[in-house]
Amino acid sequence: MQYEIRGGAFPIVICQVADGERMITEKGSMVWMTPNFEMETQGGGLGKMFSKAFSGESMFQNIYTPHGAGMIAFGSSFPGKIVPIELSGGREFILQKSAFLASEAGVELSIHFNKKFGAGLFGGEGFIMQKVSGNGIVFAEIDGELVEYDLAQGQQMIIDTGYVAGFETSVSIDIQQVKGLKNKLLGGEGFFNTVLTGPGRIWLQTMPIPGVAGAIQPYIVTG
């Protein structure tokens, strides 16, 4: 499979797929394709379907298989980036909910539970995130722009709620209280921040959807 990512704020990934190769999406994110693709919708078993629902994904997968070489494109659902992750040799990645866009058939999507109660309750990333593993390329959606850091052993990064897009499984996640009552009440940064501790690569995003929704909410007229 060969791919090309195009577009600015609303990117797409165009995949050139060989005969018999399969592409998987769980959001109905296909935007166009050549007519030689066959689509099949699968659930993957009751337990797996429920785990997908908890992780923020659809309970069903759309599997696209071409008869002969074909082209298929997947589009983002929010202004941001489409980022390719190449998985091999046991590499695994944890992503925010609903980050999964599409992948090759050798990639497995599963749920990841935050082991620490406080990180899930107050960290803004939720108890349940997504884990991608296996072999192949997976395409992830990032809200806004992407900033990457490689953390050394024990090195930490403190991140505001919602700005964590993903991290390698070697990275641990926790929370930290904002110090000082005045800072909590008047600082506008909330009561807690997320703390990521290395070693491993982390992905940060500049435009988390909840932040955008909160910013425009006062301007929405209801009635």
Q: Report domain extents, the chain.
A: 2-217
pLDDT of residue 176: 80
pLDDT, tens digit, 9 for 90 and up, residues 14-37: 999 999 899 999 777 999 999 999
The two tokens of residue 15 are 């995949």
3-state SS assignment for residue 24: strand
pLDDT, tens digit, 9 for 90 and up, residues 72-124: 999 998 899 999 999 998 899 999 888 899 999 999 988 877 655 444 444 44
The two tokens of residue 218 are 């006062």
Spatial CB neighbours of 21, under 8 Å, sequence gap ≥ 6: 1, 65, 66, 104, 105
Question: Distances in Å between the alpha carbon of 200 and those of 36, 114, 124, 170, 196?
Answer: 41, 17, 21, 6, 10
pLDDT, tens digit, 9 for 90 and up, residues 170-201: 999 888 876 544 444 444 455 678 899 999 99
Q: Could you tell me what percent of the chain has a pLDDT over 90?
A: 53
CATH class for the region spanning 2-217: alpha beta
What is the number of other CB atoms lying within 10 angstroms of the CB of residue 88?
10
Closest CA to 38 of 60, 54, 19, 58: 19
Sorting pLDDT into bands at 50, 70 and 90, what band is 158?
very high
pLDDT, tens digit, 9 for 90 and up, residues 118-145: 444 444 445 578 899 999 999 999 999 9
